[in-house]
Amino acid sequence: MSDDELLFMPATRAAALIRTGALSPVALLQAVLAAARRAQPRLNPFVVLLEQQAMADAAAAEAAVRGGQPLGPLHGVPVSIKDQVDVRGVRTTHGSAIFANSPAATADDVTVARLRAAGAVIFGKTTLPEFGHKALTDGPAFGTTRNPWDLARTSGGSSGGAAVALACGLGPLALGMDGAGSIRIPAACCGVVGLKPTLGSIPWQQGADAFGNYTYAGPMARSVADLAVMRAVLTGPDASDPWSLGAADRPLSPALAGRDLHGLRVGVIGLAANPRLQREMAENFRASIAVLEQLGAVAEAAGDGIDWMEMPGRVMYQANFAISQRRHLGEWRDRMDPTLLAFMQRGDGFSLEEFREGQYARTRLFRGIQALFERFDVLVTPTLSRTALPADFDAAHDEVEVEGELCGITRQGWSSYVYPFNLSGHPALTVPSGFDDAGLPTAVQLVGRWGAELDLLRLGAVLEEARPWAGRRPPGAAV
């Protein structure tokens, strides 16, 4: 089997071949690690490759197959972890020089433990901006992570390293984190699939504010089927996350149970807080809606009257960084990302009244979206207003340009479709929708009722079949 076949093999197929003994998990991991070493100087997707431990785990996985032991759904499959999540025996840097020499984690995060229990081989930790604060993956501690479709563009963020690794065949699965679109933004930029689950569906063990949480662990993959298997492994309650204790999947919507989509009501949101949409993004968005309509769905405009709370959300986001990272300023200010420092400075300027008003706005947003789901079974939006920004874009000060018009900072002009669902808690899946004229990926976002991930996965699979993407390789994947 060629390296290309190994690297771009779906996780579901790899696991099936490993279970029958037709594929060696050692050989698969060796191919992934070799390609990752070659890609690292150009693309920078990894903070560290866990070669020694991963090879030992792959050898143990191979021995388990030979010994006839019970095997999990991801047995022998290589998986990468965003370096914001604890992996036993490895330091968690959070993308910051502050933790570059910190002690290794003494235990796996619950998500990592579940992946290991399913048989996954953890082989590397992926890059992120400092503390995952922005929608681009770059910073003074670990450099710039570049988009494999165009090295002059950003990979997106903050799970940028994870998205780049997937797009280049450096493991079929990756664990990301999403605090304001940080799974969906890089997935859209790099042409892969990413899920922000329902609040509590996948426990987030490391959150400092468990009750006010809007950060989510979530799966990323090259195909919907792979993402669905990984998501099934990760879900379930954990004592550390109060939201997870009552979380449950909704059954598949009756309108999605058959071969067609008759009876499915689709709410179409063309603009959120953003004033413009790139031409090719709009064209591919409309083409995706047309796929659903051709199968019997009824699509209507939605979202009028929704306050997407860009400014109140910004208040909460930047004020949280100002408080959580303040303790580092005395020693580390000169080595921290200037964008993070700008966010913190702005966050310090907000009042307690403004912060509380943001929390009230979050409740209004949730109720407004809940009202939409009285009329619609699913919401569909573009994932971003345009394709990947330049890699040197200044997220603190530059305005996003769309179709020749300056449209505000990233939250206003680029990623306004994604962060509202962090705040509302509804599940949101991004899937590729095509490419723009420059060959950069475009994407659509599917949003469901609380607990309705099965609906989103079904619709994502429909779009994947109608408008396939996984077979196309980015130029930067040639290693």
How far apart are the C-alpha atoms of 443 and 167, rounded to whole Å? 14
Selected catalytic residue, list 82, 125, 134, 196: 82
- Is beta strand 378-382 parallel, antiparallel or unpaired with respect to 265-268? parallel
Q: What is the DSSP letter of 242?
A: G
C-alpha distances in Å from residue 78, one per residue of 25, 54, 161, 171, 174: 8, 8, 15, 5, 9
Task: Specify the residue for token string 């792979």.
Answer: 226
372 contacts 366 by C-beta, under 8 angstroms? no
- CA 371 to chain CA mean position, Å: 26
Active site residue 182: yes
SS3 state of residue 382: strand
Number of other CB atoms surrounding residue 297 within 10 Å = 24
Closest CA to 154 of 124, 177, 134, 125: 134
How far apart are the C-alpha atoms of 265 and 379, rounded to whole Å? 9
159 contacts 126 by C-beta, under 8 angstroms? yes
Please provide the DSSP assignment of 36-77 as one string. HHHHHHHH--EEEE-HHHHHHHHHHHHHHHHTT----TTTT-
Q: What are the residues whose beta carbons fall under 8 Å from the beta carbon of 420, sequence distance 6 or more?
A: 272, 308, 309, 313, 365, 369
Q: 406-427 burial, b if ≥16 CB within 10 A, otherwise e?
A: ebbbbbbbbbbbbbbbbbbbbb
Number of other CB atoms surrounding residue 265 within 10 Å = 17
C-alpha distances in Å from residue 42, one per residue of 146, 213, 300, 420: 8, 35, 44, 34
Active site residue 80: no
SS3 state of residue 417: coil
Omega prior to 158 cis, within 30 of 0: yes
Active site residue 125: no
Selected catalytic residue, list 158, 415, 416, 424: 158
Selected catalytic residue, list 182, 244, 424, 433: 182
How far apart are the C-alpha atoms of 45 and 443, rounded to whole Å? 21
Angle between helix 453-466 and 279-294 (nearest 10): 100
- Is beta strand 298-301 parallel, antiparallel or unpaired with respect to 265-268? parallel
Catalytic sites, residue numbers: 82, 158, 182
